[in-house]
Structure 1
Amino acid sequence: MHVSVETTSTLGRRLKVAVPADRVEKEFSARLQQLSKQVKMPGFRPGKVPLKMVEAQFGGRLMNEVAGELIQTTFREVIGSQGLRPAVDPRVQHKPFGRGEELEYTIEFEIYPEVKRSDLAGERIERPVVEINDPDVDRTLETIRKQRSTWKPVEREAHMGDRVTIDFVGKLNGQEFEGGKAAAFPLVLGGGTLIESLEQGLVGAKAGDERRIRVKFPANYQHALLAGQEAEFDVKTSEVAEPVVPELNEAFAKELGVKDGTIEQLRAEVKANLTREASARVRAVLRARILSSLLEANPIEVPRSLVDTELERLKTAVKSRSLNTADKDLLEKRAYRQVALGLILGEIVRTKAIKPDPTEVRARIEEMAADYESPQEYIQWHYASPERLSEVESLILEGKIVDELLGSVELVDKPMSFQELMKTEAIPR
């Protein structure tokens, strides 16, 4: 069998293969003989139809089957002997051929990139160190109190932090636009629910007031129709209400599920929750830093087709038909990062023969199921789908790799506040 390998790009490969005529003939004859035993034709007993008649009727179909089978078989042989690992489905073309002729085909594909480093020995990673203190608990309790505020109607003008109930109609060039109209809409001023200039324009409004507010949408606004455009909103305010924040007392504590209703126990539970949250955040930050370091240690080119596939998945996930240039660039970088990380982690799994423990997978699924009303149905839903089960297995494998890499780096503790920790990047760059 004659084989030539051509490098078309860093990862691109083109194989030209010529399968000898005698191998093609051997495969074709075997299939023809097998088919002749099954074919029925008028005037002939089963299995006694002459081969020439069988070939005349079915030869074209058999030749296509032979070509397909030989291409698959010889392609596996070639990539095995050449040490090639295709990363995507190959594109195949073969020349027309007949009996007594060799089968020539060309096959193009991209290979997996070489991953040079599977450890981070010698690298230094900063590890956040956080101690939950009384001010952290105070801030959290204040946030909880505000979240549980009730609203008291007032006769005065609206201030930032008040809730106004409004009817509004938005117009662009004098025409109403989709999504720009609502009735009895509750809006907390300064909450960022609507565009900032519209909320600012309602400061000072009283119940019964009607206002026309001009706004300009940002150039990167999520709706392409409105991005960078000026619009007018006719707004009628039907109510202004101020927040009534509940007192921090035993009744409030019991409302939050503290059985004995003491403030001390409430503070202890809040501190415990913050400690768990901080621990999870530290883990997420370390994971992001480890994976970012792994990416930096392996500057690889990735198959374009894999990036395109991931990019389409991300576009579907954000559910936006119209993306501006900045958003597209961001998604493109994210798609590349996701694919590159997947390939690097996959290579580490392959070379180190890391496998998910079924008991760990089960435990992770049960942990995830605890947040659902019917945990057992959620568990069965995962085990009913190899794809869903594979996703959990991938999480387990990634966790094993991150733990192993953490053991190979120098961790440098960096004290910080809880607030600083929650603002720290927890996504691989």
Structure 2
Amino acid sequence: MQVTETLAEGLKRELKVVIPASELASRLDTYLDDLKDKVKIKGFRPGKVPAAHLKRLYGRQATAEILNELLNETTRKAVEERNEKPALQPEIDLPDGDAEAILSGSADISFKMSYDILPEFELIDFKTVEIERPVVEISDAEIDEQIAQIADNNKPFETKDGAAEDGDRVLMSYLGKLDGTPFDGGADENGQLVLGSKQFIPGFEEQLVGLKAGDEKVIEVSFPEDYPAKHLAGKAVTFDIVVKEVQAPGEVKIDDDFAKGLGLEGLDKLKEIIRGQIESQYGAMTRQKVKRQLLDKLDEVYTFDLPERLVQSEFDGVWRQVEQDMQRSGKSFEDEETTEEEARGEYRKIAERRVRLGLVLSEVGEQNQVKVTDEEVQRALYDKVRQFPGQEKQVFDFYRSNPTALASLQAPIYEEKVVDYILELAKVTDKTVTKDELMAEDEDEG
């Protein structure tokens, strides 16, 4: 094998590789010699099939397979001998005109391989990184508020005489019509709705106020412009309503008996569970803020050339998602007060940031031997499987038989473990914030 460097510009590399035709011929002879003891051909005893006959029957197919193996093998070897780390699998350019001559064994294998190498950079001392961790102190009032909400959702309703009022529950049948024709999903014989809950489309609940059991009414409403069902979005419709019963809400006493009705030992246990749920919720938001701060700081510190093809691959993935989201929402770039060119520029920056931070985190993990265990991947797989009830076996088999898909489960685990490693070294100080401040920060960050 002869390797000649034809381009070394920044992170870009191009090599010309020549493999003598004799190498392909030698491997073909070895392949056919092994094959003659395995194949059964009418008119020949096992192991006695002439090589020339085998070559006529299997030579072209075998040559193609061996050629593919040779290209992969020499590509890998060429990179290893140069002690380089390609950002992606090198691209191979084998001129179409040479293929026939190569397969016939009359020409050397000459091809071009091109790739981007990974950039080299020094890791900073992470002890110099300062992170402010927002922490929310959970008050008894917040816990009581959550319990009051649970009580409100579990309050009893009793049949009442008279007109429906805000807070009452209306049992009814309804039939939705668009231009006088019933539409899918717009009917229910046993619907129920708590007035004021805002569960139905705007304007629906308000028109039920004042109705009594046995009343019939046709109400007119319009679906929101962003309604998921495109054929109904923004459309004016009618609903034929028949009120079957009106129920008034009862009172709920929050005490041990209430908690026991939820299957718990008592009110203290309910408060303990609610506190734990709130802590988990705020903890996840705090983690998000801390990670965002860390990544922002790393993005500020590290500036190095990026492998163009890696960036382009990341951008392509981001842009596909953008186009899919816009198609689903029915919006245009003009609706977002931008242009496609401007949007591409912004998402290009996002792709570059992701690639840069991904390379930094990967280097941190590699230098410090951060590993993802089989048990961690297994837990992630089971979590994914549980998201598809009834299809557990198909999902499990898909990931088990697809290394790329399984790697997609491993990647976020690895990233979180590397982030944890850095945060253990960084100077992290707690800052007490309110719930609203934590939520506001989340909205500001998008």
Question: TM-score by structure 1 length?
Answer: 0.73
Alignment of 1:93-172 (within 5 A): 93=94, 95-96=98-99, 97=102, 98-105=104-111, 122-172=128-178
- Give the Cα–Cα distance (whole angstroms) in 1 for the partners of residues 218 and 17 of structure 2: 76
The answer to whether the Cα contact below 8 Å between 1:25 and 1:100 also exists between their aligned partners in 2 is no
What are structure 2's unaligned runs of at least 5 residues? 387-391
- Is 1:353 aligned to residue 369 of structure 2? yes
The answer to whether the Cα contact below 8 Å between 1:110 and 1:303 also exists between their aligned partners in 2 is no
Partner amino acid for 2:222?
Answer: V
1:374 corresponds in structure 2 to: none
Change (3 A) 1:5 1:174: farther
Partner amino acid for 1:290?
Answer: L
- Is 1:233 aligned to residue 266 of structure 2? no
User: Greater CA deviation, 42-51 or 190-199?
Assistant: 42-51
Helix, strand or coil: the match of 2:58? helix
C-alpha RMSD of the superposition: 4.9
Change (3 A) 1:80 1:270: same
Task: Tell me which of 198, 202, 215 is aligned to 2:204.
Answer: 198
- Give the Cα–Cα distance (whole angstroms) in 2 for the partners of residues 141 and 405 of structure 1: 38
Q: CA deviation at 1:209?
A: 3.4
- Give the Cα–Cα distance (whole angstroms) in 2 for the partners of residues 280 and 11 of structure 1: 38
User: Greater CA deviation, 123-132 or 42-51?
Assistant: 42-51
Alignment of 1:10-409 (within 5 A): 17-38=17-38, 46-82=46-82, 83-87=84-88, 93=94, 95-96=98-99, 97=102, 98-105=104-111, 122-207=128-213, 208-218=215-225, 220-257=226-263, 259=265, 261=266, 267=271, 270-271=274-275, 274-275=278-279, 278-279=282-283, 281-291=285-295, 293-294=297-298, 302-305=310-313, 322-325=328-331, 340=355, 345-356=361-372, 361=376, 385=400, 394=411, 396-409=413-426
1:415 corresponds in structure 2 to: 432
Q: CA deviation at 1:390?
A: 6.3
CA deviation string 1:297-341 (max 9, x = no partner): 66867455566668889999x9x99443479999x97x9699757
CA deviation string 1:378-426 (max 9, x = no partner): 9xx89x9587986776565344322222234443433223465466539
- Give the Cα–Cα distance (whole angstroms) in 1 for the partners of residues 14 and 46 of structure 2: 46
Q: How many residues align?
A: 413
The answer to whether the Cα contact below 8 Å between 1:130 and 1:278 also exists between their aligned partners in 2 is yes
- Give the Cα–Cα distance (whole angstroms) in 1 for the partners of residues 332 and 120 of structure 2: 31
The answer to whether the Cα contact below 8 Å between 2:6 and 2:14 also exists between their aligned partners in 1 is yes
CA deviation string 1:62-91 (max 9, x = no partner): 221221111111121233345242536957
- Give the Cα–Cα distance (whole angstroms) in 2 for the partners of residues 158 and 337 of structure 1: 58
Q: CA deviation at 1:223?
A: 2.0
Q: CA deviation at 1:347?
A: 4.3
Question: TM-score by structure 2 length?
Answer: 0.71
CA deviation string 1:267-303 (max 9, x = no partner): 5665465456544553454345435555666686745
Q: CA deviation at 1:247?
A: 0.9
Partner amino acid for 1:350?
Answer: E
- Give the Cα–Cα distance (whole angstroms) in 2 for the partners of residues 160 and 412 of structure 1: 48
What are structure 1's unaligned runs of at least 5 residues? 372-376
Q: CA deviation at 1:140?
A: 2.0
The answer to whether the Cα contact below 8 Å between 1:116 and 1:298 also exists between their aligned partners in 2 is no
Helix, strand or coil: the match of 1:34? helix
CA deviation string 1:199-224 (max 9, x = no partner): 33334433323122121422x32222
Among all aligned residue pairs of Structure 1 and Structure 2, give the percentage whose two residues are the same amino acid: 27
Helix, strand or coil: the match of 1:186? strand
